[in-house]
Amino acid sequence: MKDETVAVVGGGPAGLMAAECIARGGVRVELFDAMPSVGRKFLLAGKGGLNLTHAEPYARFVTRYGERRGRIEALLQAFGPEAVRAWAQSLGIETFVGSSGRVFPSDMKAAPLLRRWLHRLREAGVQLHMRHRWQGFADDGALRFATPQGEAVHRASAVVLALGGGSWSRLGSDGAWVPLLAAQGVPVAPLQPSNCGFDVADGWSAHLRERHAGAPLKSVALHFEGHDGRRFEQVGECVVTETGIEGSLVYAASGPLRDEIASQGSALVHFDLLPGRTAEWVAAEVAHGRGSRSLATHLKTRLGLHGVKAALLHELLPREAFNNAAQLAAAIKHLPLCLAAPRPLDEAISSAGGVRFEALDDALMLSQRPGLFCAGEMLDWEAPTGGYLLTACLASGVVAGQGVLSWLSRRS
């Protein structure tokens, strides 16, 4: 395989990992990316602390991939959470487990890890071609690229496409590859927002927008049950936005909520504003005599409800509910909120949809096009934030890279 050359298209985590795996196998790699530098989404995602993976028990970890659990678990067997930490350590990056179970580099930063990774790739002979935007295939199967110098054509013995999903287009992940592969007859599920915020039906009042947009909802529980029986219940945090809600708790439920809206036109969720308190305790505190105190003061002093939580009660409940202690207490534990639409794809942290696994073999090679592999977020899967996205992207790069080596070996 010494005279073979493999092209990797896409310089995100999946593409870089595929390149590393192939180069380590002794095969020459040329990596192409549309942007001036690689790993741009990786760097931005790590701006507040690079979440590499998660340290929860593996049996729990694999459940995070929903309907695609079976296919993603097969990838994780090749490169799972512990392998991610060992790989980071091999680059000289120590990691630690945060209080939430998330795994971070000891300095929390993405840039040092990426610099060391690129140094190792260059030492392994990987050649980087920046500002090369993939334009599909030439008649003979060669790769076509748009570059600042005009169109370029590159031929390779095998190709790994790791072009990302459809979110954060300014960083290069724009889904422009979808029609190019669809034109080749490759089955692609439509790209949809994942790990995204949602707009509320009818919008917020001007008062809520002006006073509380951007305010965090801390220590709340989100409950959802879809028309198809899918359920979600989790305690966490989210944020009230100008148009609705977003944040980690909402992102975790984004797949079922998005699908419910697509099917039913809206999704009804319920917030428990005091998940650490029983319904009986809340009812007793609400009903407690308040004397000359206002209801707002009563809710603040007896139940700790004030700020954005109190504002949501006033926003979502009819006025008469505040004169009924039982009705008010029930709403505090089960406050309904109707969601009308997910935020646009380009605002989402990640995307669902992509190349369908049914079109790929176990090595992530397209069955109808031998020698062409796909990896990363351009595959049809999704996962919540918390290190699950990055871990699976890295794992898919490893599997695709190993698949390339195996396929080239069989050909020789």
Q: What is the pLDDT of residue 3?
A: 81
Q: What is the pLDDT of residue 121?
A: 98
Whether 353 contacts 192, CB under 8 Å: yes
- H or E stretch covering 14: helix 13-24
* Residues of each domain in the chain carrying CATH 3.50.50.60: 5-194+351-411
pLDDT by residue for the chain (412 residues), tens only, comes to 668 999 999 999 999 999 999 999 999 999 999 999 999 989 988 787 899 999 999 999 999 998 899 999 999 999 999 999 999 999 999 999 998 899 999 999 999 999 999 999 999 999 999 999 999 999 999 999 999 999 999 999 999 999 999 988 888 889 999 999 999 999 999 999 999 999 999 999 999 999 999 999 999 999 999 999 999 999 999 999 999 999 999 999 999 999 999 999 999 999 999 999 999 999 999 999 888 899 999 999 999 999 999 999 999 999 999 999 999 999 999 999 999 999 999 999 999 999 999 999 999 999 999 999 999 999 999 999 899 999 999 999 999 999 999 999 998 7
CA triplet 232, 278, 246: central angle to 5 degrees?
40
Q: What is the pLDDT of residue 412?
A: 73
Topology given in CATH for the domain delimited by 5-194+351-411: FAD/NAD(P)-binding domain (3.50.50)
- Both tokens of 43, joined, read 């760097």
d(Cα 173, Cα 149) in Å, to the nearest integer? 22
Q: What is the pLDDT of residue 2?
A: 64
Q: What residue ranges in 110-249 does DSSP mark as E strands?
A: 127-129, 133-137, 143-147, 150-154, 158-161, 188-194, 198-200, 216-225, 231-240, 244-246
End-to-end C-alpha distance for the chain, whole angstroms: 7
pTM: 0.92
Say which DSSP state 377 is in: G
Of the candidates 217, 202, 222, which has an alpha carbon nearest to the alpha carbon of residue 266? 202
Q: What is the pLDDT of residue 225?
A: 96
